[in-house]
Amino acid sequence: MIPLLRHGKPDGQPRRLTLEILRHNPADPASVPHLQAYEIEEAEGMTLFIALNEIRAQQDPSLMFDFVCRAGICGSCAMLVNGRPGLACRTLTRDLGERITLAPLPVFELIGDLSVNTGKWMRGTSERLQTWIHNDTETDLDAFETRMEPATAEAIYELDRCIECGCCIAGCGTVQMRERFVGAVGLNKIARFRLDPRDTRSDEDFYELIGDDDGVFGCMSLVGCHDVCPKQLPLQTQIAFLRRKMALQGMR
């Protein structure tokens, strides 16, 4: 965010932040989804991840949320921040107002409070889209790896930076309506394996995976995925590229 727009401390006093957190434990039959407010004092450079840890340590040990790396690498701490998907560890409280609403990512199975089971969804998508290298030739483990052009490796790496945080799915209007839609994370993976020279699948094979309204043709180009991706992946470009390639397949 532009520094001028950041919420400063005009009198030098730290702000009191109110975090309204959607609480619900599906494992408890008596639990009813509700917003619970917590007040904390803002610290210099505070992220939502730090704020949540402080709340859990000092106010409410029952608060459930996920984190591992604290550095935007593991993708565990994705949640809705004022309705917008984002990583708690990459969101500075100074970029937000004094009242912050936190909710779990929609679409995914709720574990409790802010914790959702993205892993289950991602695994299902990977199995459905067969997002691994397909190659019929036997691998010689004693031989050197086949050389790859640096530019190709860079291009693959660019797409491989996806951390499967689920923000693109939570930001996708199509998925909200149609649960079977593969979403940007799935399409990005197909784009990644399509680039990989070790994967021998052709566009005809990829059409079998994403050539329908649950796949690339279901995308309504709302670009919510692209705008919320914490890794700034070129999702808009990749989906449009796949759409062109799959449309060509459709003409055959």
Residues in contact with other proteins by CB under 8 A are 80, 83-84, 106, 171, 173, 176-178, 207-208, 211-213, 215, 217, 219-224, 227, 234, 236-237, 240-241, 243-244, 246-247, 249-252
Q: How far is the CB of 58 from other proteins (least distance, A)?
A: 29
Q: How far is the CB of 93 from other proteins (least distance, A)?
A: 19
Q: Are 103 and 79 in contact (CB under 8 A)?
A: yes
* 70 or 243: CB nearest other proteins: 243
Q: How far is the CB of 47 from other proteins (least distance, A)?
A: 22
Chain centroid, CA 220 distance in Å: 18
Q: How far is the CB of 192 from other proteins (least distance, A)?
A: 17
* 197 or 234: CB nearest other proteins: 234
- How does DSSP classify residue 185? H
Q: How far is the CB of 212 from other proteins (least distance, A)?
A: 4
Of 200, 195, 215, 204, residue with least CA distance to 151: 195
Q: Are 49 and 70 in contact (CB under 8 A)?
A: yes
Q: How far is the CB of 184 from other proteins (least distance, A)?
A: 13
| Other residues' Cβ atoms within 10 Å of the Cβ of residue 124 | 11
* 34 or 147: CB nearest other proteins: 34
* 18 or 236: CB nearest other proteins: 236
| Other residues' Cβ atoms within 10 Å of the Cβ of residue 209 | 21
* 41 or 179: CB nearest other proteins: 179
* 33 or 250: CB nearest other proteins: 250
Q: Is 188 helix (H, G, I), strand (E, B) or coil?
A: helix
* 128 or 243: CB nearest other proteins: 243
DSSP string, 105-166: -SSSEEEETTEEEHHHHHHHHHHHHT-S----SPP-TTSPPPP--HHHHHHHHHHHT----S
Q: How far is the CB of 142 from other proteins (least distance, A)?
A: 33
Q: Are 166 and 78 in contact (CB under 8 A)?
A: yes
Q: Are strands 34-41 and 78-81 parallel, antiparallel or unpaired?
A: unpaired
Q: Is 99 exposed, middle or buried (0-12, 13-18, 19+ CB in 10 A)?
A: exposed
Q: Is 232 helix (H, G, I), strand (E, B) or coil?
A: coil
